[in-house]
Amino acid sequence: MCLDLLADARFFSLLLDVDGDLAAQARTAGCACGGPLYIAHFARKPRGARGVLPPGFERRFSFCCGRDGCRRRATPPSVRFLGRKVYLAATVVLVTVLRQGPTPRRLAALREALGVEPATVARWRSWWRERFVPSPFGRALKARLAPGWGEHAVPASLLDAFSGSLAERLRAVLALLAPITTRPGLAVHVP
């Protein structure tokens, strides 16, 4: 079952490493004003993992400009967190994919395994269809991934656009989505 991936400590360690690399790139680039960036990470309470998360996973990497008068926050893209959503990005993608084949039994299993309520899953499905697909980012993705893009089956069609194991495909989708996890303007390379 694909929910087993949400119990894989190695997978979450890999995501933490990718986010660490993205944070290092952002810090090296410095602030847009030319000032140095100082560590200003903040705590998150990630939900949706079935196993123990690696130490430091609950910290969202972020920086603050050290130049007097600027103090602008710079939060790099993330493959762990999908913007301000409480649940982990991997959970939002996988649970929405599972929900695309809806059955009451499957919803009950999701609730038991992850504590995700059906109303939350419905909000995620709505977000993918009504906000993500018509967004400029979603339209650019459609042009990039066509003809394999199936906007009616997002995010499943995103997973299908990549090859490899489920972990490899999910990591690729999370890297693809990383730019939407923060404000525009932080240009970093997502591996």
Domains identified in the chain, total number: 1
Residue 190 lies in a domain: no
Residue 167 lies in a domain: yes
Give the Cα separation of 188 and 76 in Å (integer).
8
- The more confidently predicted of residues 122 and 1 is 122
Which structural domain, as residue segments, surrounds residue 41? 2-181
Give the Cα separation of 144 and 37 in Å (integer).
33
| pLDDT reading at 167 higher than 90 | yes
Give the model's confidence band at 61: pLDDT under 50 very low, under 70 low, under 90 confident, else very high: very high
Give the model's confidence band at 183: pLDDT under 50 very low, under 70 low, under 90 confident, else very high: low
What's the pLDDT score for residue 79? Answer: 96
Give the model's confidence band at 186: pLDDT under 50 very low, under 70 low, under 90 confident, else very high: very low
Nearest to 156 by CA among 117, 130, 122, 129: 129
Average pLDDT score over residue span 159-175: 92
Q: Which of 9-18, 40-49, 116-125, 177-186 has the lowest mean pLDDT?
A: 177-186
| pLDDT reading at 163 higher than 50 | yes
**Which residues on adjacent β-strands are paired with residue 37?**
65
What's the pLDDT score for residue 189? Answer: 37
What's the pLDDT score for residue 188? Answer: 37
Per-residue pLDDT tens over the stretch 67-100:
999 989 989 999 999 888 889 999 999 888 876 6
Strand runs labelled E in the chain: 37-39, 42-43, 59-60, 63-65, 73-74
Give the Cα separation of 64 and 36 in Å (integer).
8
- The more confidently predicted of residues 135 and 19 is 19
**Which residues on adjacent β-strands are paired with residue 43?**
59
Residue 187 lies in a domain: no
Give the Cα separation of 131 and 134 in Å (integer).
6
Average pLDDT score over residue span 2-15: 89
Residue 108 lies in a domain: yes
Residue 157 lies in a domain: yes
What sign does the dihedral 38-44-50-52 (CA atoms) show?
Answer: positive
Residue 191 lies in a domain: no
